[in-house]
């Protein structure tokens, strides 16, 4: 709401007098057309001189109170949103790995990575192959997980299946199905 609603623009006249608001009647407040303050037909006492200033103060006060209420409501809303964010932090969410660039490996399908916020950063895990890493930021956690996946992949390349237990053999099968070395490698 504009403040001009409560403070109408001043009207400057040729005789250097200034009239505030849309009032056109030049007679003093409280006087009727006959020029007497006491001569009212209705019998209601006319307002005291300076009542406009009092009204302005009241309007300003009312407006300030309304603004204070709005600010208080906004504070409550912000606190509610912050609470929601705080609870959401603990909820894991998925983010795909679509490339290993600049490493010369290609993916047959994006890897579904689960990101979870912990005390000192983020945990990025690839549950399908039971691999995980961490980082201070989400980006760092994903980059570290990429590094781990490729390190494990390279290790698997030099290992026979006979030397792997069932869980690790499954891990190898999943990684070899999803990741291939690029032809340029």
Q: State residue 13 phi and psi, 5-degree precision.
A: -105, 170
Among the listed residues 120, 183, 184, 185, the single contact to other proteins using CB under 8 A: 120
Interface with other proteins, residue 130, by CB under 8 A: yes
Interface positions, 68-97, toward other proteins (CB under 8 A): none
**CB closer to other proteins out of 17 and 158:** 158
Interface with other proteins, residue 102, by CB under 8 A: no
Which of these ranges, 1-9, 31-39, 54-62, 115-123, lies near other proteins under the rule CB under 8 A? 115-123
Interface with other proteins, residue 115, by CB under 8 A: no
- Given the structure tokens 């303050």, which residue do they identify? 37
Q: Give every CB contact of residue 157 below 8 A, 6+ residues apart in sequence.
A: none
**CB closer to other proteins out of 130 and 182:** 130
Q: State residue 55 phi and psi, 5-degree precision.
A: -65, -40
Interface positions, 139-168, toward other proteins (CB under 8 A): 144, 147-148, 151-152, 155, 159, 163-168
Between the CA of residue 128 and those of 22, 98, 118, 150, 156, what are the distances in Å?
Answer: 76, 15, 21, 15, 16
| E strand or H helix that includes residue 136 | none
- Given the structure tokens 């109170």, which residue do they identify? 65
Q: Footprint of other proteins on this chain (CB under 8 A)?
A: 116, 118-123, 125, 130-134, 144, 147-148, 151-152, 155, 159, 163-168
């Amino acid at each position: 709401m504009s403040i001009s609603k409560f403070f109408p623009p001043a009207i400057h006249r040729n005789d250097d007098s200034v009239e505030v608001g849309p009032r056109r009647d030049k007679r003093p407040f409280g006087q009727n057309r006959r020029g007497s303050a006491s001569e009212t037909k209705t019998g209601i006492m006319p307002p005291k001189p300076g009542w406009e200033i009092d009204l302005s103060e009241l309007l300003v006060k009312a407006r300030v109170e309304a603004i204070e209420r709005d600010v208080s409501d906004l504070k409550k809303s912000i606190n509610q949103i912050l609470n929601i964010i705080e609870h959401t932090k603990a909820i894991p969410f998925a983010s795909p790995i679509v490339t290993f660039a600049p490493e010369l490996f290609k993916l047959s399908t994006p890897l579904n990575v689960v990101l979870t916020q912990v005390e000192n950063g983020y945990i990025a895990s690839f549950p399908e192959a039971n691999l995980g890493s961490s980082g201070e930021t989400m980006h760092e956690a994903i980059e570290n997980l990429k590094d781990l996946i490729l390190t494990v992949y390279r290790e698997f390349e030099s290992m026979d299946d006979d030397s792997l237990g069932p869980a690790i053999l499954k891990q190898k099968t999943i990684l070899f199905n999803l990741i291939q070395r690029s032809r340029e490698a």
